[in-house]
Amino acid sequence: MLRRSLLSATDSTTAPIPAGPLRYTPSVETPQADEAETAEALAETMLSISRTTYKDGGHALRSVHAKSHGLLVGRLEVLDGLPPVLAQGLFAQPADHAVLLRLSTTPGDILPDSVSTPRGMAVKVLGVTGARLPGSEGATTQDFVLANGPAFTAPDAKSFLGNLKLLAATTDKAEGLKKALSATLRGAERVVEAFGGESPTLKSMGGHPETHILGERFFSQVPLRYGDYVAKLSVVPVSPELVALSGAPLDLNGAPNGLREAVVDFFQRHAGVWELRVQLCTDLDSMPVEDASVVWPEDRSPYVTVARIVVPVQNAWSAERAQAGDDRLSFSPWHGLAAHQPLGSVMRARRLAYERSAAYRAERNGCPMAEPQSNYRMPG
């Protein structure tokens, strides 16, 4: 077991705490009058994706992030000696929790991995106590839903809805064309990156570089309450074997499940360690809550380590694990503690969409869902 100590953590742990982190008050959010209508439309659009894939395959899938590439069991270790500004919510005191991780890519249909899209990591921490968010009463879990980009692809729920409608229209359409388009978009992204840039739009449309998923840094992208403060989160690979995979090319041509195979191969031979880091909001001008597309500047407030995720050698994916992790578990930023309430337009709209997506899958697949207890065992 690794020591939960500030002295043994990486440099990010000892980065200076930003001066004057913003204290949470309800006024950091400014809901719009028509948000209920937007949330309803967003939930229905997401369900339309699941209905399409269910019609085609007879099995209900997630509306987004349908394909899993790894289903992992590990431990989350909250560090000793955190200063009061970081010792908040789940991280208020040193602790050791079981944790479940689901690695995925964004489409709602099951595509070959050569259609290269952004990656996700969903984290479910078990055995968590404290006041709960509405709708998660009685559970003892805390979910964090992350993607491998520092900001969301849309500023607010209404813009997100527009993007999602375009995505929904392509569900189950022309897989061969999607593969060809993805190759073209990857080439365009390489040109952008050769000049020192990066295009989240190109990546989201299929132009994500063909790299190893375990080398990615994952972000909450949108803010959440961090006890008395407001923050974004990041999960960063730190064990040498994971760090070596940062940007590592992975040939996915002719390997429709190449990402999954790479994850399985890694965890047959290696353990993995990530750090969970927190970026505290210091002002709402440069670090807005309601505009999820803004990257919060790290020179104003660095990410600071508050916990580690340690995953031992294991079978990272199997049909039995997929039935448990894909069909019987749901991940939502609204599963958790009141101390980590999701914030901002995108997060508020997600609540209804995630609830309906999980209910649809449970009903169609005949697999009732329940939040796992601290003694949960992943099969396979």
Give residue 380's pLDDT band: very low, low, confident or very high (50, 70, 90). confident
Question: Rounded distance, CA 99 to CA 308, Å?
Answer: 11
Residue 125: which of 101, 105, 93, 109 has the closest Cα? 101
Is the pLDDT assigned to residue 178 strictly greater than 60? no
| pLDDT above 50: residue 182 | no
Q: Is 135 left (phi over 0), alpha (psi -120 to 50) or beta?
A: left
Q: Whose CA is closest to 354, among 321, 329, 373, 372?
A: 329
Residues 6+ apart with CB under 8 A from 277: 12, 233, 234, 235, 236, 303, 304, 305, 306
The answer on pLDDT for 17 being more than 70 is no
Q: Which residues of 52-79 are buried (b: 16+ CB within 10 A; e: fewer)?
A: bbbeeeeebbbbbbbbbbbbbbbbbbbb
State the Cα–Cα distance between residues 346 and 155, nearest whole angstrom.
Answer: 8
pLDDT in tens, 228-254: 999 999 999 999 999 999 999 999 988
pTM: 0.89
Q: How many helices (H) and strands (E) does the chain have?
A: 8, 9
Is residue 236 within 8 A of residue 274, CB to CB? The reply is yes
Burial pattern 227-249, b for ≥16 Cβ within 10 A else e, equals: bebbbbbbbbbbbeebeebeeee
Q: What is the pLDDT of residue 12?
A: 55
Per-residue confidence (pLDDT) for residue 262, from 0 to 100: 98
Dig out the tokens for 107 from the structure.
């489409």
Instruction: Check whether 16 has a pLDDT greater than 70.
Output: no
Q: What angle do CA 146, 148, 153 make, to 5 degrees?
A: 85
**pLDDT range class, residue 165, cuts 50, 70, 90:** confident
Helices (H), the chain: 35-57, 157-169, 175-194, 200-204, 240-243, 258-269, 319-322, 345-365
Cβ neighbour number for residue 291 with a 10 Å cutoff: 18
Show the domains of the chain with their CATH numbers.
6-27+34-365 (2.40.180.10)
pLDDT digits (tens, 9 = 90+) for 316-368: 999 999 999 999 999 999 999 999 999 999 999 999 999 999 999 999 999 88
Per-residue model confidence as pLDDT tens digits over 53-63:
999 899 999 99
* pLDDT for the residue 4: 42
